[in-house]
Amino acid sequence: MNEELIVGIDRLNNPSLNKSTAFTLEERDRYKLHGLLPTAVTTQDIQLTRVLANMHRQESNIARYIFLNSLQSRNERLFFRLVSENIKKMLPIIYTPTVGEACQQFAHIYQQQKGLTLSAQYRGRIKEVLQNWPQQDVRMIVVTDGERILGLGDLGANGMGIPIGKLSLYTACAGIHPKNCMPVMLDVGTNNVGLREDPLYLGSPQKRLEGEDYFALVDEFVQAVQEIFPKALIQFEDFLTPNAYALLEKYRHAVLCFNDDIQGTAAMALAGVLASCRITGHAFKDLRLMFLGAGSAATGIGDLIKQALIAEGLSESEALQRLWYVDEHGLICRERDDLMPHNLPYAHDQPMLSFIGAINHFKPHVLIGATGIGGTFNHKVVKSLCKHNEHPVMLALSNPTSRSECTAEQAYEWSEGNVIFASGSPFPPVNIDGRHFIPGQGNNVYIFPGVGLGVLASDASIVTDEMFLIAAKTLAKQVSKADLLHGTIYPDLNNILDISLKIAEQVAAYVFEQGLNRSPQPADIKKVLQNMMYNPTY
């Protein structure tokens, strides 16, 4: 429909067209808005001031999340301008860590549908249901089945908060237009008994669909997307580890897709490790790395680091000897008979060791946590690391904050300020013995928006691991000397739009170089990227 024909209350109720009190007198004439708004004509700047003040009046982050969710439903451009210009303040509210609490309470704080729900009852009709989506030019889809939401486990249909949040970040951090974005929840039931018994729960109150029936439903969705939205990039998000790997391996060479938990997390972590070498002086190819946790995130990081080590001249076997995993049962080693397929390449010919035993035996330079269990980097762990390294690197990546392997304050205090620390959730600066440390936040928002923008701008046919290696190296280069002086191994989030643009340029260049583009290469890809980026001002 011609947007100019949308007038009166319909225009005010359209979040992508609504300017509220910023409609000029001429626009109020044109769109029949007189009397439907207060008399004064204000600017978007004044609206921002009002919105910020009202947000700060909220007494908790979950209240702020609800407030911002409501704003997005009323005035899309004001919401995205607020977020993009205040990304450091807004990211912890619209995404981690608050999104975890929002997902837990999703059915209780529900206001308005923002995505598409595909339940098992639609088997055989997925294509028909996809066509109910109001936008025709969908380019970016984030989909989850809610089984492994952050470190919180099976939240069923409550997991819809994750695709909604991720797509908000695609717009705020890479300028992908909201009309091109579609959040999708595959509601295949839940094994969370508490949710099934909750009278307010909005998902299917059945046990999870599993096995062939589950994969058939996902396949029907993927194939329907190819027909209805053939230019769309599918991002798989927060699937249980075995399913995450199975789906990625099935579709990565056939359709435009990636898994952010596996590939995006890997690039983010690799970037932090690369940047840390500028503080420690260690050569990347000489590093020894240990992981606590052996799920999709941890093994995804290992896979990409292995690829980066091979690019530095190591053989595959030499690279694997640099990477060691510990899970709740101890060292991932060949004598164990309980390992999953994605763990097998990292099973070393070593006797079983405990976590502390493995640290003392292998003396890692870098310790990466992806456990989903809070407090696992305890005092003894930090002291053991420091015994073997002057400046050990610790990445406590589990989200939300309650699941972080340790806090920044604990890491710096227990190491007497010698550790180089970053975490998945944000922590405030810490002062130790007159030194000021600013912990970096290892957030995938540094990676997936830029990769997505580059893939869409170049009209790539598939997404490859090489794109995430490129993104990691590009991100690491954006860490300034001033950042490093404070022990920070990720760049300032306030520069996220510029960071995403740089990553997108490099990813697009790789697509054209490898001939992965489906459309002719433009003369100036940077100009194409800049023209694509959504402008929320009015």
* Structure confidence by residue, pLDDT tens digits, 416-468: 999 999 999 899 999 998 999 999 999 999 999 999 999 999 999 999 999 99
Look at the domain 98-255 and name its fold. Rossmann fold (3.40.50)
Tell whether omega for the bond before 536 is within 30 degrees of 0, i.e. cis.
no
Q: Is 166 a catalytic residue?
A: yes
- According to DSSP, residue 118 is labeled E
Domain spans in the chain, listed from the N-terminal domain onward = 3-91, 98-255, 261-526
Strand 323-327 relative to strand 330-331: parallel, antiparallel, unpaired? antiparallel
Rounded to whole angstroms, the Cα distance separating 404 from 378 reads 11
Distance of CA 288 to the CA centre of its chain: 26
Does the pLDDT at position 170 exceed 80?
Answer: yes
Host H or E run for residue 475: helix 465-477
pLDDT in tens, 14-43: 999 999 999 999 999 999 999 999 999 999
Name the average pLDDT for the chain: 96
Spell out the residues 6+ positions from residue 496 whose beta carbon is closer than 8 angstroms to its own.
Answer: 87, 173, 445, 446, 449
Neighbours of 491 (CB within 10 A): 21
Phi, psi of 529, deg, nearest 5? -60, -45
Q: Identity (one letter) of the amino acid at 85?
A: E
- According to DSSP, residue 316 is labeled H
Alpha helix (H) residue ranges in 281-346: 296-311, 316-320
* Residue 260, token pair as written in the block: 């952010």
* Residue 88, token pair as written in the block: 């450091």
Neighbours of 49 (CB within 10 A): 12
Rounded to whole angstroms, the Cα distance separating 141 from 135 reads 12
Contact 507, 454 (CB under 8 A): yes
pLDDT at site 433: 87
Rounded to whole angstroms, the Cα distance separating 418 from 389 reads 9
Distance of CA 259 to the CA centre of its chain: 10
Q: Which of 441, 279, 249, 236 is nearest to 366 (CA)?
A: 279
Rounded to whole angstroms, the Cα distance separating 308 from 328 reads 27
Does the pLDDT at position 489 exceed 90?
Answer: yes
* Residue 46, token pair as written in the block: 């004044």
Query: What value does the mean pLDDT take over residues 243-250?
Result: 97
pLDDT in tens, 290-334: 999 999 899 999 999 999 999 999 999 999 999 999 999 999 999
What is the band of 96 on the pLDDT scale with cuts at 50, 70, 90? confident
Phi, psi of 15, deg, nearest 5? -65, -25
pLDDT at site 474: 98
Spell out the residues 6+ positions from residue 527 whose beta carbon is closer than 8 angstroms to its own.
Answer: none
* Residue 199, token pair as written in the block: 């009278």
What is the band of 397 on the pLDDT scale with cuts at 50, 70, 90? very high
Considering 95, 170, 201, 510, which one is annotated as catalytic?
95
User: For residue 396, what are the β-bridge partners?
Assistant: 369, 423
Contact 364, 351 (CB under 8 A): no
pLDDT at site 43: 98
pLDDT at site 399: 87
pTM of this prediction exceeds 0.75? yes
Query: What value does the mean pLDDT take over residues 186-203?
Result: 98
Query: What value does the mean pLDDT take over residues 200-206?
Result: 97
Contact 118, 209 (CB under 8 A): no
Rounded to whole angstroms, the Cα distance separating 246 from 238 reads 13
Host H or E run for residue 259: strand 257-259
Alpha-carbon dihedral sign for residues 142, 143, 149, 155: positive
Rounded to whole angstroms, the Cα distance separating 82 from 68 reads 10
Rounded to whole angstroms, the Cα distance separating 135 from 39 reads 33
Contact 439, 430 (CB under 8 A): yes
Rounded to whole angstroms, the Cα distance separating 233 from 532 reads 16
Query: What value does the mean pLDDT take over residues 159-182?
Result: 98
Q: Identity (one letter) of the amino acid at 312?
A: E
Rounded to whole angstroms, the Cα distance separating 474 from 477 reads 5
Contact 424, 404 (CB under 8 A): yes
Contact 413, 431 (CB under 8 A): no
Q: What is residue 242's three-state secondary structure?
A: helix
Look at the domain 261-526 and name its fold. Rossmann fold (3.40.50)
Considering the domain delimited by 3-91, tell me its CATH architecture: Up-down Bundle (1.20)
pLDDT in tens, 456-482: 999 999 999 999 999 999 999 999 999
What is the band of 270 on the pLDDT scale with cuts at 50, 70, 90? very high
> Is there a shared CATH topology between the 3-91 domain and the 98-255 domain?
no
Contact 98, 61 (CB under 8 A): yes
Does the pLDDT at position 1 exceed 80?
Answer: no
Considering 166, 214, 446, 502, which one is annotated as catalytic?
166
